[in-house]
Amino acid sequence: MADDRTQQAARPSLSRQLLPAVHGLLARPLSSYYLLVASSGLLLLIGLTMVFSATSVKAYAENGNAFSAIANQAVFALLGLVAFWVCQRLPASTLRDLGKYVLGAAIVLLAILDFLNALRSVHLIGAPKIGPVRADLLWLYVGPIGLQPAELAKLGLVLWGADMIARKGPALGHWRELARPLLPVVGLLFVLVGYNDLGTMLVLLALVVGLLWAAGVRLRVFGALGVLGLAGIGLLIAAASGGAGSGEAGSDNYRLARLTTFLQPLDKCDLEGPCYQLIQARSAIFEGGWFGVGLGKGALKWNWLPEADNDFIFGVVAEELGVVGCAVVLALFSVLAYTGFRIARRSQDPFRRLAATAITTWLVAQAVINVGGVTGMLPITGLPLPFISAGGSALVVTMAAVGMLASFARAEPDAARALNARPPSRWVRLVWAPLPPMSPPRRTPEGVRRR
């Protein structure tokens, strides 16, 4: 008996056996890159599967082709992979130069979108359209080509904001440096985006907070910016009564209704009004149980669950894949968050560190807001779930941002040394990605020994 106890005490537990293996894998030079590609790739595959499951019945009923919606999503996924490939090949200097142009284009497109919607809300034009340019809620169309300018604004703010903050360096701690030109540009962007899309404005706010936090801005600055942000959100909520976004002048304020619906008990909520979405989403979660009813067998997506392929696709995941499927999706987002912040922490270049933090904050904040709205833990905002929800511009821009993270992961000091020590063949570098630049060694004062 004593010998058995001695052997059990000497035998390491399963967790102690696995931890060294996990640490060994994470210590590999390119572990950040592989974790990023694996987590984002699996989320993309899950998204394509769930979009097909959520749209096949409705698409077949409308046009007799169950694959019409998934074919459209697959095209945007392919464009997203191209954007990923392009962005992971671009050096940091090129990304820094592109920032101001991407942000400028986004501001111009947002101004046109808001202008057309404003003309419609005051009844100066019957439809938000001038010539070949027309607006449809969050979308701006030029002929048959459409895009969401707010999605482009996220990418532009990441690149321009990271470049501007990296250039200012320690001087950013002073208010006058924040006021020139960061705060005016961010404020203008918040107004242009928030007029139509308050949810995306909240994601931009989280993105800016991530940038400033990574830059080491003082806490009292965050406090002052928080007060200004809450005041701006209150004004944008009030503006919905005047026709902002999808509201109509003189009608009920739908933004305020979403907030009040979240705060009041469901038994006192109007089930025919804003509570309908939340009730149907919770019903989908309840019906799924632990293991779900199976792919394609969910009933709530048959026009019972609003926006089943977009804003509320997490409800379809809960119904058809159950708690286990939801846990897998959340675990993949957790791996993506860990990897993004790991890349930021290991980057020596200030621009890469700031941009990686901003991109990770953007994706994680959007996922948290979407899942929180579907599960009833946060007010409904109408944000899509990254990688999973149906959508064109959002998916392409998200994959482009992940491509930038992949480029930063390859530029980590250990990864760059490993790739340059044993470079792949020339055709692999030509087709996939060039070798990252070697980071110069950190200088230390003479006579000081580095530890």
pLDDT in tens, 384-435: 999 999 878 899 999 999 999 999 999 888 888 888 888 777 777 777 778 7
Nearest to 53 by CA among 354, 302, 350: 302
Give the pLDDT confidence score for residue 446 in this predicted structure.
Answer: 44
Residue 293 belongs to a domain:
yes
Task: Pick the range with the lowest mean pLDDT from 19-23, 195-199, 292-296, 368-372.
Answer: 19-23
Question: What are 269's two structure tokens?
Answer: 């909520």
189 in a structural domain: yes
Question: How many Å apart are CA 44 and CA 73, to the nearest integer?
Answer: 11
Task: Please report the pLDDT score of residue 447 as a whole number.
Answer: 39
Asked if residue 360 is part of any domain, the answer here is yes
**Highest averaged pLDDT of the listed ranges 247-261, 328-342, 387-401:** 328-342
Question: Within 10 A of 232 (CB to CB), how many other CB atoms are there?
Answer: 16
* Rounded Cα gap, residues 351 and 413, in angstroms: 15
Answer whether the bond into residue 181 is a cis peptide, omega within 30°: yes
The pLDDT of residue 7 is above 60? no
pLDDT at site 14: 47
Sign of the torsion formed by the C-alpha atoms of 380, 284, 68 and 58: negative
For residue 169, tell me if it sits in a domain: yes
What number of other Cβ atoms are within 10 A of residue 184's Cβ?
11
What pLDDT is attached to residue 451? Answer: 36
Does 232 fall in a domain?
Answer: yes
Provide the number of structural domains found in the chain: 1
The tokens of 383 are what? 């944000």
Residue 159 host element (H or E): helix 149-168
β-strands 133-136, 139-142 pairing: antiparallel
Whether the predicted pLDDT of 252 surpasses 70: no
CA distance 311 to 424: 42
What is the domain range of residue 157?
A: 44-105+150-420
At 407 the pLDDT is 94
CA distance 115 to 119: 6
Q: pLDDT by residue (tens digit) across 159-210?
A: 999 999 888 876 666 667 777 777 888 888 888 888 788 888 889 988 998 9
Q: What whole-number distance in Å separates Cα of residue 148 and Cα of residue 156? A: 13
pLDDT confidence of residue 391: 79
Confidence of residue 242 (pLDDT cuts 50, 70, 90): low
Residue 440 in domain: no
Residue 429 falls inside a structural domain = no
343 compared with 312, residue with greater pLDDT: 343
Would you state the pLDDT for residue 378? 84
Give me the phi and psi of 130, to 5 degrees please: -135, 110
Q: Please list, in sequence order, all residues whose beta carbon lies within 8 angstroms of the beta carbon of residue 317, skipping any fewer than 6 positions away.
A: 46, 50, 325, 326, 329, 388
Give the model confidence (pLDDT) of 63-121 as tens digits. 777 777 788 889 999 999 999 999 999 999 999 999 999 999 999 999 998 888 888 77
Does a structural domain hold residue 28? no
Q: What is the mean pLDDT of the chain?
A: 81
Average pLDDT score over residue span 311-319: 89
- What confidence score (pLDDT) does residue 15 get? 45
- The pLDDT assigned to 418 comes to 84
pLDDT band, residue 344 (cuts 50/70/90): very high
pLDDT at 10 over 60: no
Contact between residue 70 and residue 121 where contact means Cβ atoms under 8 Å apart: no
